[in-house]
Every structure is written in C-alpha cells, then in structure tokens.
Amino acid sequence: MTYPRIIGHRGAAALAPENTLAGFAKAAALGVKMVELDAKLSADGEVIVHHDDTLGRTANGEGPVAQASFAALRALDAGGWFGPDYAGERIPTLAEALEAIAAAGMGVNVEIKPCAERERETAEAVIAVVQEHWKGNGPFQFSSFRPLCLEVALEQAPDYARGFLTDSFAEGWLERAQALQAVSVNGNYRHYRKDRIAAVHAAGLLALAYTVNDPAIARQLLDDGMDGIITDVPDQMMGL
C-alpha cells in the first residue's frame, strides 16, 4: 500500500470551501492525487460530508448537525462563508463526493467522524455508502479518531485500508494501530517526531502527518521519512 506524498485536507481547505464538491474539484485542478474528507450522519441517517458537529462555521445554519434532517442541511449555503464565488455551494452526500473524486482520478481518505454516541451507526452507514459508491482506481482508506469506528471497519470491510488517527500519540498508540490492522498512523505533525516515524516504519506501517501548511515543515518531515503530508495548501506543497 502506498499513498501520494501530498493529500488535500478536506479537499483544498485554504483554497476553496472545505468538504464541498468545489473543494474537491479545486484539488483535482491542482494535480492532487488524493483528498481527505469527513463523513457523518444527518438526523435522518443520510451520510453527508461535513466536519463540525454543529452548524455555523462552514454552513449558514445553527444547532447540532445530528438534529438536522438532510433536507434542512441540503438547503444551507456551504460556500458563501468562504467567498462570493462559492455562494450556493451545498453540503454534499458522501455518495456524491465519492463519485466526483473517482471521476477526477483521485484517491480518498474517508474520515469517519461521528457525532456523540453515534459511533457504530455512523461507521456502518459510511461503510455501506463506500461499498456501493466508491469505484475509483486511486488509493483509499478509512480513518477515524474513534477506535470503535475502525473496529467496525475491520469487521465489516476488512479489505478496505484503515488509517489510525492520533493527536497526541498517547501511550500505546502503536499497539492500538496494530490491533486495528491499520496500514498507516495519521498523526498530528506537531508530535510526529523522527523516532515515531521510525517506529511506525519498523512496524511495517506508513507515516502520514496532518495538517501541515508550512512548506519548510513539510520538507523537514519528508526528509525525516514521513510518507505523506495532509495539507490545506496543496498548491504550495505539490513540488516537494
């Protein structure tokens, strides 16, 4: 299993509204070969692409996503906050995003990002959508900060690669990644020391770092052996 050195975070989050079809198209136009996105459930069980548990930052609504129907979410503007050129951009379904990403020839990292107490429900729904709609030839993985979500992915979709997400590399992080049969450890770059990269490689896994927006830091991480960089600014990273 290999992944591109540069992965677009939520599409190309500094260049177009995150987690939107416009954002994925922007990444593709830059030559990005893989993007990351966030998948969660609406109140009525539709799998959507959206990061936050609450509305307001990247869509012009308010309140918890988990309490909003898909119809209500679909009516929101998910692009105007970024700039007038993106006004009217909608929150996409995961199915729509997967089809667009595949059509653009990119791979995808689907982060399973459940709202509170919806871990298994969200994981099962996300997996079902991926199994039906992901037809791309590019690299793929599920990732999550929630171990239960990756456990469900291992149980129900063992042939799909898994990435173990960690922020602080808490004690036992590598053992947990191995127990989940992850192919990569996707860690916060601020805590991804060179010895940790070496430990990941010694375990036969890949080292991916998020969210790296300084080209000098990215260059150092790659020189230290990092296999891939997840970034909001792929336009600044593509030459590394």
Give the residue numbers marked as catalytic: 9, 51
- For residues 18 and 15, what is the distance between their CA atoms, to the nearest angstrom? 8
The encoded tokens of residue 7 equal 């992965």
User: Helix/strand/coil (H, E, C) string of the chain?
Assistant: CCCCCEEEECCCCCCCCCCCHHHHHHHHHCCCCEEEEEEEECCCCCEEECCCCECCCCCCCCCEHHHCCHHHHHCCCCCCCCCHHHCCCCCCEHHHHHHHHHHCCCEEEEEECCCCCCHHHHHHHHHHHHHHHCCCCCCEEEEECCHHHHHHHHHHCCCCCEEEEECCCCCCHHHHHHHCCCCEEEEEHHHCCHHHHHHHHHCCCEEEEECCCCHHHHHHHHHCCCCEEEECCHHHHCCC
